[in-house]
Amino acid sequence: MASRRQPGTGTSWTWCGCSSSSPSICGARAFPRNKLDEKRPDAGLAALSRHWIVRSLACRCPRCGIGALFEGYLKPVAACSHCGLEIARNDSGDGPAVFLIFILGFLVVPAALIVEFTWSPPIWVHVVVWPLLVGGLIALLLRPSKSLVIAIQYRNRPADFG
Ligand SMILES: [Zn+2]
């Protein structure tokens, strides 16, 4: 007996399964190109949020998602090489480092206390393990968190970027 499928339940490559009629948030144009997010009336807020967060975590330009955001490890480029967005004017400075200090402190200090009260290792274990763990996490997370803060600044005050 042939089954009758509801639209969207098949395996067609043209159907993404989302309820939106906009192809830009489902298919090949998942990342907007050369357009301000605010000028895309066809995209829902949730899709835009997902996209700019993905773009920022990939350390790409918050507007086009193509140009690199940094030259070197943490220095923002003067302007996006693709769309010309002036990024260095809105460098987030030390803000992301402060956020990471609070977040990692909230996570690592209880972990150190749990390790101490559970296994009571020698003090040199704490002296070696926790600074290495925190330093490694900061080195790993500082760049995407700085990119995320710049993207948040861009979303809230796009006129400041020129
Ligand atoms: Zn750009």
CA 19–ligand 1 middle distance (angstroms): 29
Rounded CA gap, 77 and 93, in Å?
Answer: 13
Closest CA to 70 of 160, 154, 146: 146
So what's the pLDDT on residue 48?
52
150 CA to centre of ligand 1 in angstroms: 12
End-to-end CA distance of the chain: give it in Å, rounded: 62
pLDDT value of residue 159:
87
Q: Return the structure tokens found at 77.
A: 């480029």
- Dist. CA 79 → ligand 1 center (Å): 8
Per-domain residue ranges of the chain: 23-161
Series of mean pLDDT values for 10-residue runs along the chain (162 residues): 45 37 38 48 53 86 90 94 91 91 95 97 97 95 94 89 80
User: What per-residue confidence (pLDDT) applies to 44?
Assistant: 54
pLDDT on residue 47 = 58
What lies within 8 Å, CB to CB, of 82 at 6+ separation is 34, 61, 64, 66, 67
